[in-house]
């Protein structure tokens, strides 16, 4: 159960910069006051005409005052509209970026970052679509509040002129409130269906882009296009249903103006014929009645947007977790008139490794694919290989060690000191990591290596050399400036892995962790890699953990942990395990 829900978020957004709401409210009151002034001037002129029997100077005087008044009010309104438009953009910036900034902070600080990584497309969709949906009602409130203030003044004016007629105006307004209450559930249901089908279409576009080769090989282009067209037809229906219901609701509520006018005319018709209800007063009632109906319409619009925002808010909570509800509006420094502060990544000081100790780390994931009571020690100059079959827990062990997923129990010590926050400590310059599937950005080779890190040409060259990638780069169009393509599609599988290895070596770390980082690299290149790797360890001792079943890796390892069903089935060197562990022998002889 949510602790507060969207209304609490709505209020907290307003409290982030309350001065913005107050200024915007004041400007909106000025804007809407134009209608009140116009209604007043028209009333006075018409009443003067009705009272004046000739072409007297009174009418001319009233008309002159009318035009001067309208000019002054118009100039004020122009200035207020200009300032309000600027304030709207400022509110947009602060309200939306407050949420975006905090959502990204929550994601980066999550213990189990892999859960979010698997929903990256959804995360970007939330930031792009659902964040504005959650922030917009807070901005719209100032406009609606200005309308309400003006409407209260209008009602007070009408009550002073004729309180009996004013009471009849509330008949259509009451009808509007009943319609709003009846439409509440339908608004939210339509919005939810709209967002869900939108997400499905976005996911299919992402999947299609990532599986182009698979689709071509299986000759499934036609079926994929049919499915895409089918989803888009469903999305079109959901969007139309959402928009048509919203527009229909506003049209029905808008008709209350005509109902109110008709009721009022029936009530005052006899009085007007007898001269007891001046035409100027009637014009003011007619003008204010339209305003009151517009006010109700804007309130309905705010109400509708809030119901839609509830759906977007629920989607955001699914991503960040209900425990982070309060953090969504945590105050942070934002400025619409200055360059945004650069993201300050918390870097660790280098702590030279003397010994790494892992004691009994355990992680259970849905009662499967976990690891249980894994322990080992590792010193500089040593290579620890983690071997095992598919689903044995090799990658899970590395992810738990790196802090990518949180351990359930166990301890990790670096030089005898327990590391309580592995996610922060197991990062450059202490630890560098190369994943099983190389993550390549749609950028140049150089930018993919550096990722914003300041490095000189010698460091980059050394990293390329260690990864056996310098020859490939030299043959490319513009070397490091060559674009890798979308998600690295211009590179082969082996090139992507070596680019990831070069990125890892660029950090000159105390411990290198590699998760089966050679699966796509050819045999000759891999041999050269290990020759250079041994040269590097001779220059500067560092520790290395590699998840791999490759014989060339296992033969070089000083220690091997053989995993089976998440448990350590054997530990030792390759020759020892090949004679004592039958399961290990099955992969070692391959």
DSSP string, 8-58: HHHHHHHHHSHHHHHHHHHHHHHHHHHHHHHHHHHHHHHHHHHH--SS-HH
Stretches in the chain below the pLDDT threshold 50: 1-2, 53-56
H/E segment holding residue 560:
strand 559-564
d(CA 353, CA 371): 25
d(CA 233, CA 228): 9
pTM of structure:
0.60
Q: Is 78 within 8 Å of 31 (Cβ atoms)?
A: no
| Residues 6+ positions from 573 with CB-CB distance below 8 Å | 557, 558, 559, 560
pLDDT tens by residue, 412-468: 999 999 998 888 899 888 999 998 888 888 888 888 888 877 778 888 899 999 999
Number of other residues whose CB lies within 10 A of the CB of residue 74: 13
Q: Is 30 within 8 Å of 80 (Cβ atoms)?
A: yes
| pLDDT at residue number 209 | 63
Q: Phi then psi for 519, rounded to 5 degrees? A: -65, -30
d(CA 437, CA 424): 22
Rg (CA), the chain: 35
| Sign for the pseudo-dihedral over CA of 272, 277, 278, 281 | negative
Q: Is 329 within 8 Å of 99 (Cβ atoms)?
A: yes
The crossing angle, in degrees rounded to 10, of helices 131-161 and 18-51 is 30
Nearest Cα to 468, choosing from 523, 540, 544?
523
Question: Where do the domains of the chain lie, and which CATH numbers do they carry?
Answer: 6-329 (1.20.1560.10), 356-588 (3.40.50.300)
| pLDDT at residue number 523 | 86
| pLDDT at residue number 54 | 47
């Amino acid at each position: 159960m949510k602790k507060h829900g969207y209304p609490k978020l709505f209020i907290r957004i307003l409290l982030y910069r309350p001065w913005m709401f107050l200024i915007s409210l004041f400007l909106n009151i000025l804007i809407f006051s134009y209608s009140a002034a116009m209604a007043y001037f028209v009333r006075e002129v018409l009443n003067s005409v009705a009272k004046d029997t000739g072409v007297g100077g009174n009418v001319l005087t009233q008309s002159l005052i009318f035009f001067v008044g309208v000019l002054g009010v118009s100039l004020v309104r122009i200035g207020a509209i200009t300032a309000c438009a600027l304030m709207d953009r400022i509110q947009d910036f602060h309200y939306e970026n407050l949420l975006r900034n905090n959502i990204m902070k929550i994601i980066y600080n999550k213990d189990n970052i892999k859960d979010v990584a698997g929903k990256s497309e959804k995360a970007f969709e939330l930031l792009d679509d659902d964040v504005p949906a959650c922030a917009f009602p807070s901005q719209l409130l100032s406009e609606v509040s200005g309308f309400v203030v003006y409407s209260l003044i209008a009602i007070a004016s009408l009550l002073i002129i004729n309180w009996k007629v004013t009471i009849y105006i509330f008949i259509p307004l009451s009808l509007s409130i009943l319609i709003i209450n009846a439409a509440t559930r339908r608004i939210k249901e339509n919005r939810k269906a709209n967002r869900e089908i939108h997400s499905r279409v976005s996911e299919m576009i992402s999947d299609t882009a990532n599986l182009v080769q698979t689709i071509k090989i299986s000759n499934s282009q036609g079926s994929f296009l049919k499915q895409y067209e089918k989803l888009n037809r469903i999305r079109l229906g959901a969007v139309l249903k959402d928009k048509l219901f919203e527009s229909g609701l506003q049209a029905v509520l808008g008709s209350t103006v005509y109902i109110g006018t008709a009721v009022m005319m029936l009530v005052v018709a006899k009085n007007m014929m007898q001269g007891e209800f001046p035409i100027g007063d009637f014009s003011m009632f007619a003008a204010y009645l339209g305003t009151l109906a517009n006010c109700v319409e804007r309130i309905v619009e705010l109400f509708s947007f809030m119901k839609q925002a509830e759906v977007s808010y629920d989607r955001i909570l699914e991503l960040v977790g209900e425990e982070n509800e309060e953090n969504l509006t945590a105050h942070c420094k934002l400025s619409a008139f200055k360059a945004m502060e650069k993201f300050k990544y918390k870097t660790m000081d280098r702590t030279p490794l003397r010994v790494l100790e892992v004691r009994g780390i355990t992680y259970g994931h849905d009662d499967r694919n976990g690891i249980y009571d894994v322990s080992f020690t590792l010193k500089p100059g040593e290579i620890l290989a983690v071997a095992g079959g598919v689903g044995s827990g090799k990658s899970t062990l590395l992810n738990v060690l790196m802090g990518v997923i949180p351990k359930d129990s166990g301890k990790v010590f670096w030089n005898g000191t327990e590391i309580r926050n592995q996610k922060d400590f197991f990062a450059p310059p202490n630890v560098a990591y190369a994943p099983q599937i190389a993550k390549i950005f749609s950028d140049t080779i150089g930018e993919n290596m550096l990722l914003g890190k300041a490095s000189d040409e010698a460091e980059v060259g050394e990293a390329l050399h260690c990864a056996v990638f310098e020859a490939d780069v030299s043959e490319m169009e513009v070397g490091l400036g060559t674009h890798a393509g979308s998600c690295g599609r211009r590179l082969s599988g082996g090139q992507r892995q070596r680019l990831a290895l070069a990125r890892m070596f660029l950090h000159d770390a105390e411990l290198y962790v590699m998760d089966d980082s050679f699966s796509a690299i050819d045999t000759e290149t891999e041999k050269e890699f290990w020759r250079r790797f041994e040269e590097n360890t001779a220059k500067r001792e560092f520790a290395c953990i590699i998840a791999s079943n490759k014989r060339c890796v296992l033969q070089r390892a000083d220690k091997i942990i053989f995993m089976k069903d998440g448990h350590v089935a054997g530990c030792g060197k390759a020759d020892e395990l090949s004679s004592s562990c039958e399961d290990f022998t099955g992969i070692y002889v391959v």
